[in-house]
Structure 1
Amino acid sequence: MECSMKYFYIVSLALLWGCQSSPEGAYVYQGRVDADIIRVSAKSAGTLDSLFTDEGLKVKKGELLAVINDERVLARQRAQQAQWDEARANLKASQAQKVQLQKQRDFTRSTLEKTRRMIEGGAATRQQADELATRLEVYQAQIVAADARIEALKSREKQLAAAMALTELDLRDTRVTSPVNGVVLTRLHSADEMVAPGVPLFEVTDLSRVDVLCYVPLKDLPDIQIGRKANIRADGVENPLPGRVTFIADQSEFTPKTILTRETRTTLVYRVKIRVDNRKELLKIGMPVDVTFEE
């Protein structure tokens, strides 16, 4: 009988391991620190020419992390610029030619009108008028052709401008920058390696705001609501850090192995996420912590 009572006592302690009582009487839930990890990926294909940061270093939003070789992009940009310059020069020449043709047309039209009046007085012949009329038609046809050429050159110029804008974006994509203020957790490639678009180069996280994940049994869940205040305690951190519940899982799960003992892993619990202001960066990813909820 005495052995049975000891066994019952040991099992009971194991079941309560994940939600022990604090000296103040509040349940203490075990949790761990988590944070959003951002994978900074390459947007351009090529060789990594330079790396400007490494694991553990702090970075600012927009800070240059790496440069991918841009020789091909620059060559394409120079070729497009030359084509655009040529199209612009041809456009200006065609517009100047049109102006000259319009002047010749207007002069010919004026001369034709005078010639027709002079025919009535016998000072000009009908043949002269016919020649002027033919010349007027030629000028008009040349102006129409010039208009078509000008429109084609304008369209070509727009196409080249759009292509140059895309090339400018491609050139910008050879510069890999940090999307947030944070810390580089992992550097996934080294200089002189080939990379492709979408290949992760770094893992960066913002440690100023972290989440604490803990697991609450069903019997305690009614007391936990979104927005409820919590206190987070960690080894080496003198004072508890305040936090608020931002997420409560709708579906239960078995207690993760990293949280409780083998016996209590068969207990169904609900994952709770607590957002913590960590601007002093006292909490690190993966750090075990104790969580208590304020009344």
Structure 2
Amino acid sequence: MPAISRMCTNAMTLAVTTALVGCGEHGPRPWQGYVEGEFVYVASSQAGTLQTLSVTRGQQVKTGDALFELEATFEQAAQARARDALASAEAQSRDLQTGKRPDEIAVAAAQLKQAVAVRDKALAQFDRDQTQYAAGGISREQLDASRADARSSAARVQELQSSLAVARLPGRQAQQQAQTAQVDVARASLAQADWQLAQKRPAASAPGRVYDTMYRVGEWVPAGSPVVRLLPPGNIKVRFFVPETTLGHLRAGQTVHIACDGCGAGMPARITYVADQAEYTPPVIYSNDTRDKLVYMIEAHPAPADAVKLNPGQPVQVTQP
């Protein structure tokens, strides 16, 4: 066989072999990717000394578990002050709605009873004086004095009757509305104090793994500075890259299969994002020969129960079922 023919045959054999290797012995070659975590940085809106660190790195926490606590002497005092102010405002509101105290009403009733007795005595004396005046037994001046005394006693009775009625009435409507507003203000102040105190004791908002802690007990923590870094299972995702020729076959919502070292039989994941731009662009003009060098990033989320088996940065292989 001529040398040129042997060279052509060897080239064709190499091309076929390369094509077969590209497809793999058991199907298409898997796409390469890695695990990525979207961390939750837990911080307090208030500054303070780190008093308690309730978690350690690698620990699994549940929703509502305490993470850390900052010194809160000022916030505790503010909460107690706001609670007392609310109790005082509510007591004044109840007092306006019920009128005067029973003892005060009893005093007013006794005064009225005494005034009625004085009035009855004055009226009886006036009747007698009228008879005496008709008979000529007393002067006109004495009769006028008796009449004035009777009228004064009657007026005193009316005054005490009105006072007793007012004592039994609740406060005026405007006073009640003003006091109700004071109660609302005190209640809002207590809610604010409760919130500020709760900010000194953050809790886990979702189950997850404590990936890192940034401060030690006794250190000063500025407001807004993260103390604990959490990784919830729902925030673990897989990023992998596919060639441009495969991009059209993948859509958000489709299921892919993830394999990795230590994953056993692997796990399914749902595609949540498909990039619309290439991650890598070769420094050449596009042509049919260079299109296969373009790769596009795709993100997929495994189920939370499977996600806990993965670690950020871990390499994975992804295939389409």
What is the one-letter code of the residue matched to 1:186? D
Distance 1:246 1:85, change over 3 A: closer
* Structure number having the greater helix percentage: 2
Distance 1:90 1:238, change over 3 A: closer
2-structure distance, mates of 1:267, 1:137: 100
Q: Say which SS state the counterpart of residue 254 (structure 1) adopts.
A: coil
> 1:279: which partner in 2?
305
Distance 1:180 1:81, change over 3 A: closer
Once the two structures are TM-superposed, the CA of residue 50 in structure 1 deviates from its matched residue by: 0.9
Unaligned residue ranges in structure 2 (runs of 5+): 1-6, 128-148, 282-289
What is the one-letter code of the residue matched to 2:214? L
What is the one-letter code of the residue matched to 1:97? K
Once the two structures are TM-superposed, the CA of residue 138 in structure 1 deviates from its matched residue by: 6.1
What is the one-letter code of the residue matched to 1:187? T
Distance 1:132 1:70, change over 3 A: same
Unaligned residue ranges in structure 1 (runs of 5+): 257-263
Distance 1:208 1:87, change over 3 A: closer
Once the two structures are TM-superposed, the CA of residue 183 in structure 1 deviates from its matched residue by: 0.9
Pairing 1:173–2:199 present = yes
> 2:44: which partner in 1?
42
Distance 1:269 1:151, change over 3 A: same
Q: Say which SS state the counterpart of residue 229 (structure 2) adopts.
A: strand
CA contact (8 A) 1:44 1:196 kept: yes
CA contact (8 A) 2:38 2:235 kept: no
Listed as ranges, the matches of 1:11-30 within 5 Å are: 21-30=23-32
Q: Highest CA radius of gyration, 1 or 2?
A: 2
> 2:246: which partner in 1?
220
Once the two structures are TM-superposed, the CA of residue 32 in structure 1 deviates from its matched residue by: 0.8
> 2:142: which partner in 1?
none
CA contact (8 A) 1:254 1:269 kept: yes
Bigger drift between 194-203 and 63-72 goes to 194-203
> 1:32: which partner in 2?
34
Distance 1:207 1:81, change over 3 A: closer
Cα deviation 1:138-193 (Å, max 9, x = unaligned): 66777889446555444433322321222122222221211222111121222222
TM-score by length of 1: 0.72
Once the two structures are TM-superposed, the CA of residue 252 in structure 1 deviates from its matched residue by: 0.3
What is the one-letter code of the residue matched to 1:171? L
Distance 1:240 1:87, change over 3 A: closer
Cα deviation 1:174-227 (Å, max 9, x = unaligned): 212112221111212222222344322221112377321112232211111223
Cα deviation 1:228-279 (Å, max 9, x = unaligned): 2322121343423222222212x203339xxxxxxx9x95433211222363
2-structure distance, mates of 1:184, 1:65: 9
1-structure distance, mates of 2:264, 2:313: 19
Pairing 1:291–2:308 present = no
1-structure distance, mates of 2:235, 2:264: 19
> 2:224: which partner in 1?
198
Bigger drift between 277-286 and 72-81 goes to 277-286
CA contact (8 A) 1:44 1:170 kept: yes
2-structure distance, mates of 1:149, 1:193: 51
Q: Say which SS state the counterpart of residue 159 (structure 1) adopts.
A: helix
